[in-house]
Structure 1
C-alpha cells in the first residue's frame, strides 16, 4: 500500500517493561525502514541529524518499584541462584539466540538479586569458553550496584560482538566476579560461513580501496544495455585487507548527469548474511545488489558504490578512481527508453 500525499497515519503499540528494568531515564526512538533491504530511512530533520536513521519520540522515566518483581517463571532461570560476590546472586541468563556466525552482534541478559547492601560497585566479566570473547562490565550498566538495596532484583543487558576468528562449535557462557565464576548451562553454537581466499571471476577487475580495511576487487553488471523499467543485477567482489572494526553497509547509486539518484540499493554484504566484522584478512566475499530502474529513465547514467559505517553513518573514503571522496565510479551505462 502507498500513502497518498498529505495523508497521516497512526501507529499504536503497547510495550511491557521487562521485570527488573533498572530505574532511570530512557530515550525512546523509532525508525522507518525499507522492508526489502531492512535499511533505515535517513532522518532529514536538522535537529535530529546524526541519529543513525532513527528519531526520538519520548523520554521514559522508570521508577524503582515498590517491591521487587516476582520472577517465578522467568525464562532462563538457573537451577539455583549462583553467588558471585558477597550479596550478589545471579538468577537467570537470557541470551537472544543459541546460534550465531562470526562478526554478528547479539544481546545477553542477566537477572541479578542483592542479599545485602553492596558498598562498592561490583565488576563482572562475561566470556565464551574456547574463544577470545571476554569483557568486563557492571551488573547493571548505568545503575551502580552501590545504589541497590537488599532484596532488589535487577536486569542487565549487554551487547556482544562475536570475533571474526571465533571457532566453530558449541561454546559455554561463563560469568565471574571477585574470583567466583560459574559456567552456565546455555551454549552458543557458532556456524562458520564458507570462506574463500581466491576471487570469483568477474567481468571487470578493480583495485578500489575503502578506508583501510576493504578493497573492491571486481564487479559484474547485467544487462550491459538495460531498458527503462528493467532491473540491474550488480555483483561485487569484496576483499578484506583487515577485519573491519565496524559493521559496514554497501550502498549502490545509479546517478543521472544532474546528480539525481534514480535507483539505489543499500544492504549489509551478501544479502545481510556476511557482516564485515566477521571477515578475515585476505577473504573474498561475493555481494549481489538488485536495482530497479524507473520507467522514465533514458540516456547516460553512472553506477557508483560506497561503504558506510552503520553505527555512525560515516561513509568510508575511497582511493583508486573515485567519482567523489565517498563513492567509487564503477561504470557508465546507457538506459534504452
Structure 2
C-alpha cells in the first residue's frame, strides 16, 4: 500500500473515489530498508516469520485475475507486516547509531519520533481528504453502509411520538428485507416512541399491513428513501392513494437521505381497501388492445381534496405498447378542471403493459385533484388510454363505445365537488398576471385577471375567457356576468348572463378570501356587422355594472346567395342543416382539385369540418383532407340561411391514378359525429361521376 514518488500509484478505488494511501514516499522508503534488514537476518525466527507473512499475504493479489475487486484490495493482508517492516527500517538504524554514538541518543529519539509522526500525519490527511470527504457525499457509500438508516433513526426519534406511525415502503422487485436485524432496528430501539413497519408495495400486503399499522394512530409519516435499494418502491403511488383517502396532507420533512410526507388521519376514517369496481354493463375495448372491465370513483369530495378512482384493465392484443392512463374532470361545458396522468403498471414487479401477458387483468389506482379555484359543483370524469412515441407525441387508443367524441375519451361517471374545507392561499392559484382590480359595489369582489381576450373577431367565432375572482367580504346577492360588444349605441351579446361561480356555488357562498376561476364561453352571431367595438363585461346586480376589457375589431367576409355554375349538381341534404348543391373535380397523378358548393339551410351553433377522402377499389384511403370550409375562413357557425359557400379543396398525394372514388361529408369538430345524408342515411356522400383526369 504505497505511493513511491507518484511512480507506483497503488490507490484503492471504490466507485472511482480513492479510499486511502497507506504509505507515502517516506514510509515506503523505510519499508524497503526494513525488508532488506529482515532478508539479511532471515535466520532469526522473528525476521523469517515477518518476511514469510508478508510474502504469503501477497499471493491472492498475484494469482487472482483483475475483476470488480482491484488487486490492491486483495493484498490488504500485507498491511500489518508492511507497517512492521517500515518500523524495523526506521528503528533498527537509529538503534545502531545510538549504540555507536551514545551522546546522540536523545537527539536520535527525537528525530525518530518526528520521522514517525510525518507518515502518521500524512496517513491521517489522506484518509480525510481521499476517503472521508468524498464518501460523505457518495451515494454508493451511503448505500453499502446504510448511512440513510442513521439519519432516519434520528429523524423518527425527533419528529415522531406515540401517536405517530411510519411506513417504510419495500420494493417487491428489489429483494427481501429483514426488519428485526436491520440497521434501523438496532439504532432506533429504546430511542423513539413511534411505531414503524416495512411494508411491501404489492396489493396483497399494502392495504392490510397499512391498516394494521395505522390502527389507533392519528398521524403517519410515509418514508421515501433517496439512497436505498428500495428508493424506487411503490411506483404506482399506492401508499399516497391509501393515506390521502384516510387523512389529510400534514407537511413534508426533507432531509439528506430521506423525505417524509406526513398525513393527519381522520378520526372516523375506516381502513382503506380496494373498492368493488363496476359502473358499466360490459367491458369497453380500446382499439382491440386493452379493455376497461371495471371502474369505481368517489361520488363526492371536497374541492380541495383529491378524488379517488379505481379501474380494472385487461390486455386483449399482443401489440407491445407501454400505455399511459389519462384522467380528467370536466364541467358540463367541456372545460377541464383537473387532470392526472400515470403509466399503467402491473401489481407484481411493476411491469409496463408491453410486458403483460395477453389476458392479464390488473387493478389501477389514481388520485385526481381539481385545479385550485375550481368552483364546487357537478363534474364528469373521463379517461383516455395512450402511448408515447420516441418524439414524445401521444397517440390515443379509440374506445369502442357510443358516447365517445373526437377526444377519444370515455366517460366513467359523474362526481360532485363539495365546498372547500379550507381557503387556499393566494399563491396556490396559477393566476395570469393581474390585469384588473375593480371592486364591484358593496359586495367587495375583485376581478383579478382575464385571459383569452381576442385581438380580432369574425362572424360566428367561438371562444372562452378565463376570469379570476376573489371575495373580499361576505356577498349579499347572487352575482351574474355577461359579455358584450359595444359600439355607437349598438350592443351585441356574446354571452348571456351567467351566475358567478356557477349555479352550485353562487357568490353568497364565497367566504372572505376565496378565489374562484370561471370560464365564460362566448359566440359571435353570424350576422354581426363589421366594425370596431369595445369588449365589455356586464355585472348584475353590482353598482360597478360594466368593466371594459379593451378594443376589438370585428372583420366581415364576402357572402353570396346565388349558386354559381358547377359541373355536377347533387342537392344532397345533410341532416336538414346543409345542402351539397354540387361539385367540380379533376385528378392528376400528384393531386386532386375538388370544389364543393354548400348552402346553409339555417344558422348553426356547431363548427363542422369538411372531409374529402380518395379511395382505391378496395375502399382504402389513398389521400384525404379534413378542415373547416375555405381553410377556416368560413366556419359553419358564420353561415347565414341560404348562403352559398364555394369550398375549393386541393389534396396532394402519390399514385392518385389508383383513385376509384371520392367521398365527402361533414362532422362536428367538437365530438367527431358526422352529419347524415337524409336520402341514404349514410354519413358520407360518394361523388358519383367520372372525374376529369389530367395526365
When the two structures are superposed, what TM-score results if normalisation uses the length of structure 1? 0.76
SS at match of 2:660: strand
Counterpart residue number, 2:499: 138
Bigger helix share: 2
Aligned residue for 1:159?
Answer: 521
Structural mapping, 1:1-337, within 5 Å: 20=373, 22=375, 44-46=398-400, 50-55=404-409, 66-69=424-427, 74-75=432-433, 77-78=435-436, 80-84=437-441, 86-118=443-475, 121-129=478-486, 130-141=491-502, 144-145=505-506, 146-172=508-534, 173-178=536-541, 180=543, 181-223=545-587, 226-227=588-589, 230-295=590-655, 298=658, 301-319=660-678, 322=680, 325-333=682-690
Q: How much has 1:151 moved relative to structure 2?
A: 2.0
CA RMSD in angstroms, aligned pairs only: 4.1
Aligned match of 2:32: none
2:483 touches 2:538 (CA, 8 Å); kept in 1? yes
Deviation at 1:23? 6.9
Distance in 2 separating the partners of 1:206 and 1:41: 38
Match of 1:35 in 2: none
Residue 248 of structure 1 and its aligned partner are, at CA, apart by 0.9
Q: Distance in 2 between matches of 1:31 and 1:331?
A: 39
Which range moved further: 234-243 or 258-267?
A: 258-267
The CA deviation at 1:261 is 3.0
Distance in structure 2 (CA, Å) of the matches to 1:41 and 1:240: 35
Name the stretch that deviates more: 239-248 or 89-98.
Answer: 89-98
Quick one: distance in 2 between partners of 1:253 and 1:8?
32
Q: In the TM superposition, what whole-angstrom CA distance separates every residue of 1:282-319 from its partner, at most 9, and x where no partner exists?
A: 22222122334453863x61211111122232221214
Distance 1:29 1:291, change over 3 A: farther
Residues 24-80 of structure 1 show CA distances to partners (whole Å, capped at 9, x for unaligned) of: 878688899xxxxxxx9885222695132344799xx99766422499x954623x4
Deviations 1:131-186 (A, max 9, x none): 14341212233761344220223222222121111121222213211154114141
- Secondary structure of the 2:637 match is helix
Higher Cα Rg: structure 1 or 2? 2
Long gaps (5+) in structure 2? 1-318, 325-339, 341-369, 387-393
CA distance in 2 between counterparts of 1:296 and 1:197 reads 34
> For the residues of structure 1 that align with 2:666 and 2:547, how far apart are their CA atoms?
39
CA contact (8 A) 2:448 2:470 kept: yes
Segment of structure 1 superposing worse, 279-288 or 133-142: 133-142
2 CA distance for matches of 1:46 and 1:290? 32
More strand by share: 1
Cα gap change, 1:246 to 1:195, in 2 (>3 Å): same
SS at 1:270 equivalent:
helix
Q: CA deviation at 1:255?
A: 2.8
**Does the CA-based 8 Å contact 2:449-2:468 persist in structure 1?**
yes
CA distance in 2, matches of 1:57, 1:326: 24
Q: CA deviation at 1:278?
A: 0.7
2:576 is paired with a residue whose SS is coil
Higher relative contact order (CA 8 A, sep 6+): 1
Counterparts of 1:139 and 1:326, CA distance in 2: 40
How far apart are 1:251 and its partner, in Å?
A: 1.3
Could you list the per-position Cα deviations for residues 191-210 of structure 1 after superposition, in whole angstroms to 9, with x for gaps in the alignment?
Answer: 11122223344322331221
TM-score norm. by structure 2 comes to 0.40
Distance 2:434 2:523 in 1: 21
Instruction: Give the conservation status (yes or no) of the 8 Å contact 1:30–1:56.
Output: yes
The 8 Å contact of residues 85 and 177 in structure 1, kept in 2 or not, is answered as no
Q: How many residues align?
A: 317
